[in-house]
Every structure is written in structure tokens, then in C-alpha cells.
Chains A and B, each alone.
Chain A
Amino acid sequence: SAVISQKPSRDICQRGTSLTIQCQVDSQVTMMFWYRQQPGQSLTLIATANQGSEATYESGFVIDKFPISRPNLTFSTLTVSNMSPEDSSIYLCSAREGTGYPGELFFGEGSRLTVL
């Protein structure tokens, strides 16, 4: 099974700044995703990180606010731009191995952001 590492694990940020979260998978994976989990809440898909092309964003999420990169099959970054207190949340990187359906979805431990 894939092991996913995220950095930073937590951070406290000032309003108006941006923060980039890194996600490293220990094996090549076909698909990578970014989720947001607000405290005590469910997981909401932000976007699918596509290798070598623009990410596919879900309704309510835009590239200018959450730019995503995926330069290869094992690494992705999510930037939270121009942060406000409403962006305080846990951001989770996930990945799926193989191309078969459904395929298990693996998660990192998350990056807990607090915006002051």
C-alpha cells in the first residue's frame, strides 16, 4: 500500500499570506487528490491533481485560490493563497494506485492550517 507524507503537518499563518503543502508518495500512483476536512467535519474534494496538466477542480474551488502542481507520479503540491480565517482546516493529500476500479484510496496524515 502507498505511504503518503505531507509537509508541513501543521502551521499557523497570518491572514493574506499563502502556504504551500507538499505531498510525497513512496510509489508511483495513477491519481492524486486534495481534500479539505474542517474540524469535526467530513472530507470535501478540492481537486484532482493531474500529472503535467492543470488540476481538475470541484465546484466551489478555483485555481487562483488553490493552485495545484503535480510534476511527476509521486509528488504534488497544494497552495492555499491569500488565506483568511475561513481557510483554517485540515488539508489531506490522497492517492490511488493502479487503473482498475475502484481501487483503494490512501490518505496522508493531513496538514492542519490555522489562519489568524
Chain B
Amino acid sequence: QQQVKQSPQSLIVQKGGISIINCAYENTAFDYFPWYQQFPGKGPALLIAIRPDVSEKKEGRFTISFNKSAKQFSLHIMDSQPGDSATYFCAASKSYSGSARQLTFGSGTQLTVLP
């Protein structure tokens, strides 16, 4: 079963705090793990992504931590800002030869950063 389980469903953080969203997957063939950010009324947009050959990737205030043995990965948002309030989706995909390589999405986390 190609599933990606995401938690928590919702998260409220104070401005300046750290937001942490977790995802777990089952299929060991997954080899690409992106995070998407979606604002109300907009489509999802790629935020940051990681491949399983590294344990961590950082871009500005956003960091992905990846634990291959546990089949888990997480998104950390440092110094969270009200503008970060959005829905975050983790996802995973596996490489095919000449095929769709479609993403399997987690259930989403609605983040609210209080001013």
C-alpha cells in the first residue's frame, strides 16, 4: 500500500516558535520526499524536498529531517511567522522508467501561527 501518514492534523504555534510536522511512509521504494505549502484558494506549491541519500536539508527557516531506517521524515519551521499559516502536505514518490512518477500525498496539516 502506497501510503504516507501525516501528523498532526492541525498545529497552532506562537510567532517565533518552532513548527514541526511529521510524516511516515511504508513503501521502501519511495525515493523522493517533497513538502508542499498551500494557502487558502491557491494550489499547492513546492516548499522543500529531500532524497534519501541525505538525513537533513535546510532552506532558510525550513528544514527537512529524514530517518530512512524509521521510514519517517519531518518538516521543521524555525522562527514561525504568521505568514507561514497555511496547509502543509508531505508527499513521496518512487522513480519509474518513463512513467508518471506520481506523488502520494499525506493528509495535510493546517498550521496557524499566532501573532
A76 to B9, CA, bound (A): 33
Contact A31 B100 (CB under 8 A): yes
Closest chain-B Cβ to A33's Cβ sits at a distance in Å of 7
- Can you list, as one digit per residue, whether each of A99-116 has a CB less than 8 Å from chain B (1) or not (0)? 001111111111000000
Determine if B60 is an interface residue (Cβ-Cβ < 8 Å): no
Contact A43 B100 (CB under 8 A): no
Determine if A53 is an interface residue (Cβ-Cβ < 8 Å): no
A31 to B93, CA, bound (A): 15
Contact B49 A102 (CB under 8 A): yes
- Can you list, as one digit per residue, whether each of B72-98 has a CB less than 8 Å from chain A (1) or not (0)? 000000000000000001000101000
Interface centre among A31, A43, A44, A92, by most chain B C-beta atoms within 10 angstroms, is A43
Chain B residues within 8 Å of A31, by CB: 100
A45 to B2, CA, bound (A): 13
In chain B, positions 97-115 with a C-beta closer than 8 Å to chain A are 100-103, 105-108, 110
A109 to B100, CA, bound (A): 21
Closest chain-B Cβ to A7's Cβ sits at a distance in Å of 14
Contact B93 A42 (CB under 8 A): no
Chain B residues within 8 Å of A109, by CB: 41-43
Contact A110 B43 (CB under 8 A): yes
Residue pairs across A and B with Cβ atoms less than 8 A apart, 15 shown, are A4-B43, A33-B102, A40-B110, A41-B108, A44-B105, A45-B102, A48-B102, A101-B101, A102-B95, A103-B101, A104-B46, A105-B34, A107-B45, A108-B43, A110-B42
